[in-house]
Every structure is written in structure tokens, then in C-alpha cells.
Amino acid sequence: MLAPTGVRVPLWERACPRWGRHIQHQRRLTHRHREQARSHRKAKAKTEALRQFLQGYAFPCGSEPARDGAGTFSINGA
């Protein structure tokens, strides 16, 4: 495209005059997500350590799987 002065201007410069600032803003957002991802890795490691600790307990929630041939049970009593 030709500017009024006769100089050719690339189309993306006309469409987004603040292109440079936009790129810097995207880099800051990416950096923030990298920091967040690092903290999630630590949380995953803690969860894995807890899972391994609880592995020694058969049913840490106080429940167990259904037994074969035990019949059915309804919480409503019917």
C-alpha cells in the first residue's frame, strides 16, 4: 500500500501501529505462565509423595470395594 507521501507501507504496520508493544506484552504473559507451571510441578511432586505415603493404607477413605455375592444395598432402606 502507498502512503500519502508515496512511500510503500507494509499492511501489518497499518493494521497494528503498536505491534512492538504487543509483542512485549505477550512475552510478559508467557513469562508469568512459566512461573505458574513451575509451581504446579512442585504441587504435583507433593501429591505424588502423599500418594506413596498413603499406599501403605489399604483404604484411607474408610471404604472398600464391593464383595462378590454380598447382594445389594440401598441407602434408603427400601
Q: Report pLDDT digits (tens) over 19-78.
A: 555 455 555 555 555 555 555 666 777 788 777 777 766 555 555 666 676 666 667 755
pLDDT of the residue at 65:
65
pLDDT of the residue at 41:
63
Name the residue with cell 507501507.
Answer: 9
* Bridge partner residues of 2 (DSSP): 8
Spell out where the chain has E strands: none
pLDDT of the residue at 49:
79
Q: Which residues contact 62 (CB under 8 A, 6 or more apart)?
A: none
Domain boundaries, the chain: 18-51
pLDDT of the residue at 52:
76
| Residue of 56 and 14 predicted with greater confidence | 56
Name the residue with cell 509483542.
Answer: 23
Q: Residues 9, 1: contact at Cβ < 8 Å?
A: yes
